Structure 1
Amino acid sequence: MKLRWVTELKTLNMKLRWVTELKTLNMKLRWVTELKTLNMKLRWVTELKTLNMKLRWVTELKTLNMKLRDALDLYANVVHVKSIPGIPTRHKNIDFVVIPRADRGRGVVESLKITTAEKSRRIAKFAFDYATKFGRKRVTAVHKANIMKLGDGLFLRCCQEFI
């Protein structure tokens, strides 16, 4: 099964376009590794579609999408939630941003939660930098530190370092 990938990048007013047919998973991973090795940062992607690739082997825990996130070191998602004027909704004037961590994937063992101080600081710094850059008034850290004292307690302490 071939994967036809068309990506357009804009860098310094230059428009680059790749059309690549990758036949095997190893070729796909090699291509992703080459992107990272060349230190290309994907800033503007004209069209981004989620790679919904089903796991071929029961033993494989990561989808191609997860491997792509790991190879490009993508650690935060930015989801902007905003009310649209003229659309009737239960709640009015909603405007907030959710920044969940993207450095963890769903595996077979979902009860195992791995949290490190470095990754917690990294996502907290990203959230505070985002709030500063886009004029947000507050940053709220969502956690379960009262129940998960070690993992979420560490995350909460790392967030408080930026206050």
Structure 2
Amino acid sequence: MNLDLGHSQTLTYRYLCAAALTLTLLPFLTGCGPQASSYTPTTDTIVATSPISIDAAAKSIEVQGSPASVQSQVIDECVIGFDQLNLPYEVKSTDELLLNNQSLSYLRPLATPESIPSVDERLFAVWKVPKRMVGQVAYSIEVEIKANEIIYRNTCSR
């Protein structure tokens, strides 16, 4: 059986198909609009800790051993570790620390003040690396320096 729909009926069929496709995509498109503001980013904080020794004369922090990197269980790109075991430092001011040639900003004092003879006491604090965005992931890193331990905290958000 042959059906001749004719030119106008073929156009109507095309419009019906386009309308059906639009109705199928409409919920997706509206999800990108006003409802998009309800998106909650995924956030995870991972921590790597290592014992250290501080060479006051060389102004260097020596990471002891070979601590393993820590990987987030939530965000694959979120990793932190000690790839450098010798970290030269310079306390530039009460607000700035150069650690392995990276500029860090003062964040807060330690819960319990610490000191080592001949080491600038301002070193012992919590410092932060400027926030970075790589692809879809934001990285916020804190470095806590104690007399015998260094702690890296990496908070990642996607």
Normalising TM by the smaller chain, what interval?
under 0.3
In the superposition, the TM-score normalised over structure 1's length comes to 0.20
TM-score, structure 2 length as denominator? 0.20
Which is helix-richer, 1 or 2?
A: 1
Q: Which has the higher contact order (CA 8 A, sep 6+)?
A: 2
- Higher strand residue share: 2
Between structure 1 and structure 2, the one with the greater Rg is 2
